[in-house]
Structure 1
Amino acid sequence: MTGTGGPVATFSVWDYVVFAGVILGASGIGLFQAIRGRKETSSAEFLLGGRQMTAVPVAMSLTASFMSGITVIGTPAEAYRFGSAFWLFGFSYAIMSVITAEIFVPLFYRLAITSAYEYLELRFSRPIRLIGTSMYIIQTALYTGLVIYAPALALNQITGLDLWGVLVATGAVCIVYCTLGGLKAVIWTDVLQMVIMLAGFVAVIARGAVIQGGLTKIWEDAREGGRLEAFDFDPDPLKRHTFWTIVVGGSIMWVSIYSINQSQVQRYISCKTLGHAKMSLYVNMVGLWVTVSLAVFSGLTMYSIYKNCDPLTNGDVKSTDQLLPYLVMDILASFPGIPGLFVAAAYSGTLSTVSSSINALVAVTVEDFIFPMCKPFSPKQITWMNMGLSVFFGALCIGMAGVASLMGSVLQAALSIFGMISGPLLGLYLLGMFFRTTNSVGGLTGMIIGLVLTLWVGIGAQMYPPTDDKTLPLKLSTAGCNNTISQNLTTATPWTSPVTVTQQPDDRPPLADSWYSLSYVYFCLLGMLTTMVIGLLVSIITGGCKQEKLDSKLFGSDDTAAELHMGVDNLTFKDFDVKSKEFEKATKL
Structure 2
Amino acid sequence: MNRLQLEDWLVLATTLLFIVIYGAWKTRKHSKVSDYLRGGNSAKWWTVGISVMATQASAITFLSTPGQAFHDGMGFVQFYFGLPIAMIIICMVFIPLYHKLKVYTAYEFLEQRFDGKTRVLTAFLFLIQRGLSAGITIFAPAIILSAVLGWDLYMLNIIIGVLVIIYTVTGGTKAVSVTQKQQMAVIFAGMFIAFYLILDGLPEEVTFTKALDIAGASGKMDILDFSFDFENNYTVWSGIIGGTFLMLSYFGTDQSQVQRYLSGQSVKQSQLGLMFNGLLKVPMQFFILLVGVMVFVFYQYNSAPLHFNPSNVAEVMESPYADQYKSLENQRSLVEAELFSVQNAMAANSSSSENQELINQMKSLQGQDKQLREQAKELILKVDPNATVNDKDYVFIHYILNNLPKGLIGLLLAVILSAAMSSTASELNALGTTTTIDIYKRSQAVERDEKFYIQKSKWFTALWGVLAILIACVANLFENLIQLVNIIGSIFYGNVLGIFLLAFFIKHVKSRAVFAAAILTQAIIIALWFWDAIPYLWLNLIGCALVMIIAILFQSVDRKA
Q: Please give the TM-score of this superposition, normalised by the length of structure 2.
A: 0.82
What is the letter of the counterpart of residue 206 of structure 1?
A: Y
Match of 1:532 among 531, 548, 554: 548
Query: What is the CA deviation profile of residues 186-224 of structure 1, one whole-angstrom value per residue up to 9, with x for unaligned ones?
Result: 001011111111222212211111112432233122101
Equivalent residues in 2 for 1:3-152, closer than 5 Å: 8-35=1-28, 38=29, 40-152=30-142
- Deviation, 1:544, is 6.9
Partner of 2:403: 331
What is the letter of the counterpart of residue 427 of structure 2?
A: S
Partner of 1:322: 394
Partner of 1:452: 523
- Deviation, 1:315, is 6.1
Match of 2:219 among 213, 226, 238: 226
Q: Pick closer, same or farther for the CA change 1:312–1:176 going to 2, 3 Å.
A: farther
2:49, 2:276 within 8 Å by CA — same for their partners in 1?
A: yes
Bigger shift: residues 81-90 or 338-347? 81-90
What is the letter of the counterpart of residue 98 of structure 1?
A: I
1:69, 1:350 within 8 Å by CA — same for their partners in 2?
A: yes
Q: Matched residues in 2 for 1:263 and 1:315: separation? A: 32
Q: Are 1:268 and 2:268 counterparts?
A: no
- Deviation, 1:147, is 0.6
Partner of 1:582: none
Bigger shift: residues 309-318 or 253-262? 309-318
Q: Pick closer, same or farther for the CA change 1:362–1:315 going to 2, 3 Å.
A: closer
Q: Matched residues in 1 for 2:485 and 2:97: separation? A: 27
Where does the alignment leave 5 or more consecutive residues of structure 2 unmatched? 313-390
More helix by share: 2
Find the residue that maps to 1:208 and give its secondary structure: helix
Query: What is the CA deviation profile of residues 289-338 of structure 1, one whole-angstrom value per residue up to 9, with x for unaligned ones?
Result: 34202211111012112247653547657432111110111220xx2211
1:449, 1:530 within 8 Å by CA — same for their partners in 2?
A: no
Q: Matched residues in 1 for 2:35 and 2:309: separation? A: 51
Q: Pick closer, same or farther for the CA change 1:317–1:328 going to 2, 3 Å.
A: farther
What is the letter of the counterpart of residue 125 of structure 1?
A: D
- Deviation, 1:158, is 3.6
Query: What is the CA deviation profile of residues 234-267 of structure 1, one whole-angstrom value per residue up to 9, with x for unaligned ones?
Result: 1122322111112211111111110111011112
Q: Pick closer, same or farther for the CA change 1:226–1:310 going to 2, 3 Å.
A: farther
1:53, 1:270 within 8 Å by CA — same for their partners in 2?
A: yes
Q: Matched residues in 1 for 2:470 and 2:54: separation? A: 23
Partner of 1:365: 435
- Deviation, 1:430, is 0.7
What is the letter of the counterpart of residue 325 of structure 1?
A: I
- Deviation, 1:82, is 1.5
1:312, 1:320 within 8 Å by CA — same for their partners in 2?
A: no
Query: What is the CA deviation profile of residues 446-478 of structure 1, one whole-angstrom value per residue up to 9, with x for unaligned ones?
Result: 2222211221222334xxxxxxxxxxxxxxxxx
Q: What fraction of aligned residue pairs are identical, expressed as a percent?
A: 26
1:67, 1:291 within 8 Å by CA — same for their partners in 2?
A: no
What is the letter of the counterpart of residue 422 of structure 1?
A: Y
Match of 1:352 among 414, 418, 422: 422
Partner of 1:311: 305
Q: Please give the TM-score of this superposition, normalised by the length of structure 1.
A: 0.78
Q: Matched residues in 1 for 2:226 and 2:125: separation? A: 34
What is the letter of the counterpart of residue 341 of structure 1?
A: L
What is the letter of the counterpart of residue 311 of structure 1?
A: P
Q: Pick closer, same or farther for the CA change 1:295–1:404 going to 2, 3 Å.
A: farther
Partner of 1:187: 177
Q: Matched residues in 2 for 1:253 and 1:123: separation? A: 23
Q: Are 1:436 and 2:452 counterparts?
A: no
What is the letter of the counterpart of residue 298 of structure 1?
A: V
- Deviation, 1:43, is 1.2
Bigger shift: residues 303-312 or 226-235? 303-312
What is the letter of the counterpart of residue 452 of structure 1?
A: A
Q: Are 1:419 and 2:495 counterparts?
A: no
Q: CA RMSD in A?
A: 1.8
Partner of 1:480: none
Match of 1:207 among 197, 201, 204: 197
Q: Matched residues in 2 for 1:260 and 1:451: separation? A: 16
Bigger shift: residues 321-330 or 231-240? 231-240
